[in-house]
Amino acid sequence: MANGRHLLDSGSTGNLTVNELLAAYLDFAKDYYRKDGQPTSEYSCIGQAIRFLANAYGHTPADRFGPLALKAVQNMMIQHGLRRRVINHHIERVKRVFKWAVANQIIGPDVYHALQTVSGLRLGRSEAKESDPVRPVADADVDAIMPYVSAQVWAIVELMRLTGMRAGEAVVMRGCDLDVTGRVWTYQPSRHKGEHYGHSRVVELGPRAQAIIKEFVKLDPQAYLFSPKDAERERSVRRRANRKRPLYNDSKRYAREKAQRRPRDFSDHYTVVNLRNAIQRACRAVNAALEEAGKDEFISVWHPHQLRHNFATRIRKEFGLETARVLLGHRSMAVSEIYAEADRAKVVEAIARVGVSKPCLAERSSATVIDGPAFSGQARHPDDIGEEGQAGRADRGTERRTSAVASRPSMARGKSAGIASRLG
């Protein structure tokens, strides 16, 4: 196997401890969960999951680790304060360790099959904390941070609001990934969430998004559009221009101290963590300024993923859930429903209309009974209507169906034109 390890046959696994198994699996995971030469976030999550396992059962023989031990690890995660969904993901990662060991004949299959009987935590059935649902952020809270972030960070924020792209897709935008031939530009990220599944991702860019991108396009098509190096260079220029007095009267002293400083190494592009930190630092700066001004209301400390929910909710409201699914790059409509908040105003309006569209039972009981020889105090039966009445009812039904079918093409064309004009 890789890294000089050898598979163990079933007769030599009795002394293999959980710690030894975890060390072997981490060697495998470090090479497997890698993208562009760097470990992915999943590798870090695996380390967090198996930490609980190693602390409690590290010296236990691997083939004696059973369902009760896994439940004990699950309870440790609950006591540690982890959220329910995080715990379920961690438990699945622990099971994956033993599945890999079985597939490589390091331990017998009975251990993994027994661990499969441990179910994930159910909502309201355990003491585990629940994660707060991600909600859209108020536009006023987004606009408030503009003076407190760099031009690069603000451009990313605006693009996410306009396109619904993920933060990881926005920070790696390059000129070579853009197709600017049409009225609506397209962007194919070099790295995205579903890349390892073989899925493609295309982001449509309308006129407002195009105007933002044009300000950051570089001569080198391989260069990242939004760079922390550019942001720091622009910040230094502003600081120098706003300085009221010279930094040093002695130029030799300034040069000597500058040479002794530890140079700051800025990446050529932002990461999701960099972007989140910059946004939340700006939110706290806004709240500090509001507190200093004696204000009682503050903005929320939001994160960039909420902007994707803003976009999904707006698209669902204006164009429907299917359009939101396509623009968000989801494979399933159910996932889009998580991002796109339902329009509660429409729900209230609908239920209000339902309440007044038909008379209630009390109104029906007090309604005037139809008079006539055939209906004196009795309900109308199809046989009582007569042939002419039934023919008239059938004609009116046919007319309604014909008009509805005839109006469908025009409705579809109008909807497509509306989407193209608003997003293009």
pLDDT in tens, 259-300: 776 666 678 889 999 999 999 999 999 999 999 999 989 999
CA distance 384 to 128: 65
Bridge partner residues of 38 (DSSP): 35
Torsion of CA 63, 55, 74, 25, to 10 degrees: -50
pLDDT score, position 334: 63
pLDDT score, position 4: 42
Q: What are the structural domains, with CATH classification, of the chain?
A: 2-115 (1.10.150), 134-244+265-358 (1.10.443.10)
Residue 199 or residue 13, greater confidence: 199
pLDDT score, position 11: 45
| Dihedral sign from CA coordinates of 171, 174, 175, 180 | negative
pLDDT score, position 148: 95
Host H or E run for residue 151: helix 151-163
**pLDDT band with cut points at 50, 70 and 90 for residue 405:** very low
Of all residues in the chain, the percent with pLDDT exceeding 90 is 49
Neighbours of 94 (CB within 10 A): 21
Read off φ and ψ for residue 80, nearest 5 degrees.
-75, -10
DSSP 8-state class, residue 127: S
Distance from the first to the final alpha carbon of the chain: 53
CA distance 98 to 407: 59
Bridge partner residues of 205 (DSSP): 185
**pLDDT band with cut points at 50, 70 and 90 for residue 240:** confident
Task: Encode pLDDT of 356-392 as tens digits.
Answer: 544 444 444 444 444 444 434 444 444 444 555 555 5
* Side chain identity at residue 322, one-letter code: E
Bridge partner residues of 185 (DSSP): 205
**pLDDT band with cut points at 50, 70 and 90 for residue 199:** confident
pLDDT score, position 250: 59
Residues 188-200: what's their mean pLDDT? 78
CA distance 259 to 320: 59
Task: Encode pLDDT of 131-179 as tens digits.
Answer: 888 888 999 999 999 999 999 999 999 999 999 899 999 999 999 999 9
